A and B are shown apart, each in its own frame.
Chain A
């Protein structure tokens, strides 16, 4: 079945460092891909999404490109801030039903 694999955390970075969180997927069709973010004690919020191959989703300085050839949707940010500390989830949307989530990657940004 469809699934998502994302890099294990936790990831610890200094402020202004470059961030990459890897996400790869397995799907039989042409799914939409999402990145959600969960701040401490809160629910998940959509960070960005892409609905077809080569689409780039972007929001708040984060970017991810839907790569069909490598079945990947890696999350990047050029300069992280302390306020970016959170758990990031890659997700795949298929067949009109619920999302398939990765296990989440915890990011801690230190001053």
Chain B
């Protein structure tokens, strides 16, 4: 039982490049989330998916797109990376509004 997995662990991009962050969970949870963590800012919600086939914007969605591929997988895409998107990205899942389970994170540096 791996829980929530994320790939890649680290990534360096140049400004303007695109990439997709992958997330998968094996707990059969309905809800999945993408957060970013920046120093002194805590975690901020980018997008979430309450159930398969639905996605909604969170607090900081600009510059990102998401796809809920199936119940297990929820990907985050940066179409044209900017230095302001340098951050640590966390995926999480939950069965309801209660306990969320987090992945190990993806550290992204945009030059």
| A interface residues with partner B (beta carbon < 8 Å) | 32, 34, 36, 42-46, 49, 51, 89, 93-99, 101-104
Cβ contact within 8 Å between B105 and A98: no
**Total contacting residues, chain B, CB less than 8 A:** 25
**Shortest distance in angstroms between B5's beta carbon and chain A's nearest beta carbon?**
10
Residues of chain A contacted by B96 (CB below 8 angstroms): 96
Cβ contact within 8 Å between A32 and B98: yes
- The residue in chain B whose Cβ has the minimal distance to the Cβ of A98 is B45
Query: Which of the candidate stretches B12-20, B35-43, B68-76, B79-87 sits at the interface with the other chain?
Result: B35-43
| B interface residues with partner A (beta carbon < 8 Å) | 4, 33, 35, 40-45, 48, 50, 56, 58, 90, 92, 96-105
In Å, the complex CA distance between A89 and B51 comes to: 26
- The residue in chain B whose Cβ has the minimal distance to the Cβ of A90 is B42
- The residue in chain B whose Cβ has the minimal distance to the Cβ of A89 is B42
Residues of chain B contacted by A104 (CB below 8 angstroms): 42
Cβ contact within 8 Å between B43 and A96: no
Cβ contact within 8 Å between A97 and B99: no
